[in-house]
Amino acid sequence: MYELQQIDKHFPGVHALKSIDFKIGRGEIVGLVGENGAGKSTLMKVIYGAYQPDGGTVSIDGTTVRFQNPRQAMDHGIGMVFQEQSLITNLTVAENIFLGFEQQFVRWGVIDWKALTAAARAQLAKVKLDIDPSIVTAQLSFAQRQLVELAKVLTLEERVDGDLVILLDEPTSVLAREEVELLFQLVRDLTSRASFIFVSHRMDEVLELSDRIYVMKDGEVVDVVAQADAQVETIQHKMVGRDIDKEYYREQKQQDYERTNPLVSFRNVSHAGSFQDISFDLHAGEVLCLVGTEGSGREAILRTVFGLDTPTSGTVQIKGETITHFNAQSGVARGIGYVPRERKVEGIVSGMSVYENMTISQMGNYATGGILKIGEERALARAWIEKLGIKTPNEHKDCAGLSGGNQQKVVLAKWRSGGSDIILLDHPTRGLDIGAKEDVYEMVRGMCADGVGIILVADTLEEAIGLSHSIIVLKDGQFQQRFEGMPGDKPTLFDLVHHMI
Amino acid sequence: MTLETLKPHFPWITLLVLVVLVGALNPSFFDPGALMLLMADIVPLFIMAMGMTFAIYIGGIDLSVQQLANVVTVVATVYLANFGIGVAVIAILIGFLFGAISGYVTTRLFVPSFVSTLAMGFVALSMAKWLSDQRALSMDATLRNDSFGWMFDTTAGFPNELIIALILLALAWFLQTRTTFGRSLKAVGAGELAAVASGLNVDKVKIIAFAISGAFAAIAGLMFSVKLSGGDANLANGFLLLAIVAVLVGGTPLTGGVGGVVNTAIGTLIVMVIRAAMVYLEVDATQQQMVFGIVLIAAIALTIDRSKLRGIVK
């Protein structure tokens, strides 16, 4: 019924989708899996009309269609339930459900609120949510909002002739186990009304719910498996393209570290609203990984170490010195380097060249009396371009034009060339292709060998396990468990997940 | 050659086209002596616009410049007798201080710069009215000539005003391209969040940017005051719009991060040529601001970096 044929999509420097064939039948639930950066989200954006493909055709019941925007896709029955919820929290549930489509309730130029509320109630009944549609959305739990979001998409049923396709993007990531069960039951019941495309990181859930599963890797569909034949191991293998082995995370290069003179030391540190009573030590040559779900306090701890956040209680020591004034300038001065998750926004300055980006944190080293020694800056940049194999025509190139992996190398070069020996990595491999990821892993090992201490928030649990010497599991800002992770004695995925949720 | 790659060249192409058009309209436009006078005439505006460039370069704006110039004309006129040439130092300090306060209010109290500078502008205006008792004051001719007469002499056939402008431009250009402060300005303008995450003292950079804007506005006010040999609280009215136009048509967008003081020099010349054209076309003086208002909107619409706005304009 809904079909994509040989869809291609390019971005500057990236071939994001390579000749994708994809179809979904009436009442079918199709799973979509792949690593970060495999092209799942690009594919979804093509499906719901946020991106226009460069090549290939999209057809519904054999008729070719082309969507300029999500609204046009909606008019053809394609709806999206967003991972980051798209409800406006200060509107009522009913207002949210019909946001942008109030016209049908307008009588004499004003909205007939009674009719709108009644219609909203009917939509909520579809998702078996028994709440008053006139309450403000902010009062709902996350799970309830997710269902409202689904109810909102299901209004397409009345508006559109023909079949519905509903995309569910990571719908379970914030739900408890029972809530997930309820959602799945609901989705199964709703297959009489719509087809679903289900995207999730949780392999077991995808296997449980989907009739067929598309496996993506590097912008391609590498396999389509029916539920009956699906096995977690084989799918994972196809997603990564090889066995996730020791080689991948450079475990053979993982060395032990000195357990004296910690670089960073947290003692019962709390930050109101994000984490409580956290203690740990980071030593030279150690990779300490903070593991937890979104909002478990991982990022806030990184920001506190760097100096961007001020803790509300507890003692933070950097290289033996107790910190009283928290700001990023003194963090940098003490040798801390921060590689943020939002590489394009916080990592590099778009519009500045490679060499300008590399010296931005250490301009004092390349200036006398405030006057820059640009020749020396460029020499530094050339040396690090060479050292890290950064693919750029020259050091004058605008950083915005580099690929993600090369941008990340520029960010790392910035800190390493300035002599930082405490490096905070927040999702350093997010959105990178496999080769670039391996480069980052290689650099992590290299930095450890040079005596750098690293605090890592990893993109995947496998990455966390593979890279780290020590793992701290957090949940809702609370310390849960600590694991040692020397090669040969690493915790398993299950060990970690068990404490995370 | 796409539109995007052509964009940085728009300002000087615009200038060239306008010069050719105006020259065709009135060939006497090219007379070197007259042209030099025309340029000397626009120097105070240029200096003000050059300062404003720093505020816009970091993604802010400084709406106080015209009122700062106003208060400086009054201060210079009132205190010329007491301090002589030293009044220049006082003027620049006043501008710097007002700008720094605007910067402090913007960065530490989180008041957007268009409001903080607008408010500081009214503070300055009110000070000017209070100090001048709402009268138009004039400078004592001998005192003026003793202290500042040199500004309007010529050196080797060039008006000193133009030379002052060029020296300030060279200074500002050096500050912008060759110093750690200038590099920090660029980082703040092009990617403030990355600048924060790189440990730059972003607040300090912004405060200094507004302070420089204020100081340049004060220099502009001083020159204008000496030029007209007097001061009053409305003397520099009409400068603000033109200064913003000069910065934006020069190619420093409201979103910041690109452009700079050389662009503003080109932008000021564009303003000058448009003004000359309007004189030749006999556009009434009262109608000129209409033209510049429209030019301003066109310049913003053409230069603004939409990817930075994320679709939200309020």
Whether the Cβ atoms of residue A337 and residue A422 lie closer than 8 Å to each other: yes
CB contact under 8 A, A346 and B183: no
- The predicted pLDDT at position A251 comes to 80
Mean pLDDT for the stretch of residues A317-332: 91
User: Which of B171, B188, B198, B205 would you mutate first to test chain A, the one with the most A CBs within 10 A?
Assistant: B198
On chain A, the residues whose CB falls within 8 A of the CB of B256 are none
Residues 6+ apart with CB under 8 A from A43: A7, A17, A20, A22, A32, A216
- The predicted pLDDT at position B279 comes to 87
| Backbone torsion region of residue B207, taken as left when φ is above 0, otherwise alpha when ψ lies between -120 and 50, otherwise beta | alpha
> Rounded distance, CA A67 to CA A49, Å?
5
pLDDT tens digits, residue range B67-76? 999 999 999 9
3-state secondary structure of B297: helix
Per-residue pLDDT band at A463 (split at 50, 70, 90) = confident
> Rounded distance, CA A270 to CA A277, Å?
5
For A393, the token pair is: 């025509």
- The predicted pLDDT at position A245 comes to 58
Percentage of chain A beyond pLDDT 90 is 41
> Rounded distance, CA B199 to CA A420, Å?
12
Mean pLDDT for the stretch of residues A464-479: 90
Give the number of beta-carbon pairs within 8 Å between A and B: 77
Nearest to B178 among A360, A364, A372 (CB): A372
Angle between helices B160-178 and B261-280 (to 10 degrees): 140
Whether the Cβ atoms of residue B82 and residue B67 lie closer than 8 Å to each other: no
CB burial readout A474-488, b (16+ within 10 A) else e: bbebebbbebebeee
For A480, the token pair is: 């849960």
Measured between CA atoms, how close is A99 to chain B, in angstroms? 19
Q: Nearest Cα to B266, choosing from B53, B54, B26?
A: B53
CB count, 10 Å around CB of A6?
13
* Closest chain B CA to residue A327: B199
> Rounded distance, CA A413 to CA A252, Å?
24
Per-residue pLDDT band at A337 (split at 50, 70, 90) = very high
CB contact under 8 A, B199 and A333: yes
Average pLDDT, whole number, for chain A?
Answer: 87
Measured between CA atoms, how close is A468 to chain B, in angstroms? 24
**CB contact, 8 Å: B5 with chain A?**
no
Residue A167, pLDDT above cutoff 80: yes
Cα B34 versus chain centre, distance: 23
**CB contact, 8 Å: B190 with chain A?**
yes
Measured between CA atoms, how close is A419 to chain B, in angstroms? 14
Mean pLDDT for the stretch of residues B180-193: 94
- The predicted pLDDT at position A232 comes to 79
On chain B, the residues whose CB falls within 8 A of the CB of A346 are 193-194, 196-197
- The predicted pLDDT at position A174 comes to 66
- The predicted pLDDT at position A153 comes to 87
ipTM: 0.88
Q: Of the ranges A143-147, A245-249, A418-422, B118-122, which one carries the lowest mean pLDDT score?
A: A245-249
Per-residue pLDDT band at A82 (split at 50, 70, 90) = confident
DSSP state of A101: -
DSSP string, B117-151: HHHHHHHHHHHHHHHHTT--EE--HHHHHHHHGGG
Q: Which residue has the higher pLDDT, B123 or A388?
A: B123
CB contact under 8 A, A350 and B191: yes
Residue B144, pLDDT above cutoff 70: yes
CB count, 10 Å around CB of A406?
24
Whether the Cβ atoms of residue A330 and residue A318 lie closer than 8 Å to each other: no
3-state secondary structure of B26: coil
> Rounded distance, CA A361 to CA A58, Å?
47
- The predicted pLDDT at position A448 comes to 92
Per-residue pLDDT band at A157 (split at 50, 70, 90) = confident
Measured between CA atoms, how close is A301 to chain B, in angstroms? 15
Q: Nearest Cα to A491, choosing from A302, A257, A291, A293?
A: A291
Whether the Cβ atoms of residue A21 and residue A216 lie closer than 8 Å to each other: no
Beta strands in A69-161 (DSSP E): 78-81, 106-107, 110-111
H or E stretch covering B13: helix B10-25
Beta strands in A54-101 (DSSP E): 55-60, 63-65, 78-81
Q: Which residue has the higher pLDDT, A290 or A100?
A: A290
3-state secondary structure of A203: helix
Q: Nearest Cα to A374, choosing from B74, B177, B60, B26?
A: B177
3-state secondary structure of B160: helix
Mean pLDDT for the stretch of residues B281-295: 87
Residue A452, pLDDT above cutoff 80: yes
* Closest chain B CA to residue A374: B178
CB contact under 8 A, A371 and B199: no
> Rounded distance, CA A473 to CA A202, Å?
18
Residue B6, pLDDT above cutoff 90: no
- The predicted pLDDT at position A416 comes to 92
pLDDT tens digits, residue range A267-318? 999 998 889 999 999 999 999 999 987 778 899 999 999 999 999 999 999 9
Residue A196, pLDDT above cutoff 80: yes
Q: Which residue has the higher pLDDT, A12 or B127?
A: B127
On chain B, the residues whose CB falls within 8 A of the CB of A418 are none
Name the β-bridge partners of A315.
A267
How would you class B116 by CB atoms within 10 Å of its CB: exposed for 0-12, middle for 13-18, buried for 19 or more? buried
- Cite the DSSP H helix spans in A360-433: 374-388, 404-417
Per-residue pLDDT band at B195 (split at 50, 70, 90) = very high
Mean pLDDT for the stretch of residues A469-492: 87
Long-range contacts of A209-215 (CB under 8 A, 24+ apart): A209/A29, A209/A31, A209/A184, A210/A29, A210/A30, A210/A31, A211/A28, A211/A29, A211/A30, A212/A28, A212/A30, A212/A31, A213/A30, A213/A31, A213/A32, A213/A33, A214/A22, A214/A30, A214/A31, A214/A32, A214/A33, A215/A33, A215/A34, A215/A239
Domains of chain A: 2-240 (3.40.50.300), 251-335+421-500 (3.40.50.300), 350-418 (no CATH)
> Rounded distance, CA B96 to CA B208, Å?
9
Per-residue pLDDT band at A401 (split at 50, 70, 90) = confident
Whether the Cβ atoms of residue B120 and residue B101 lie closer than 8 Å to each other: yes
Look up residue A393 and give its amino acid: P
How would you class A427 by CB atoms within 10 Å of its CB: exposed for 0-12, middle for 13-18, buried for 19 or more? buried
> Rounded distance, CA A432 to CA A343, Å?
11
Q: Strand pairing of B137-138 and B230-231?
A: antiparallel
Mean pLDDT for the stretch of residues A423-451: 87
- State phi, psi for B146 to the nearest 5 degrees: -65, -45
- The predicted pLDDT at position A244 comes to 54
Nearest to A329 among B178, B179, B201 (CB): B201
Name the β-bridge partners of A78.
A165
How would you class B170 by CB atoms within 10 Å of its CB: exposed for 0-12, middle for 13-18, buried for 19 or more? exposed
Mean pLDDT for the stretch of residues B156-184: 94
Q: Of the ranges A51-60, A416-425, A480-489, B157-166, which one carries the lowest mean pLDDT score?
A: A480-489
Mean pLDDT for the stretch of residues A115-136: 90
pLDDT tens digits, residue range B97-117? 999 999 999 999 999 999 999
Residue A356, pLDDT above cutoff 90: yes
Beta strands in chain B (DSSP E): 137-138, 154-155, 158-159, 230-231
CB count, 10 Å around CB of A81?
22
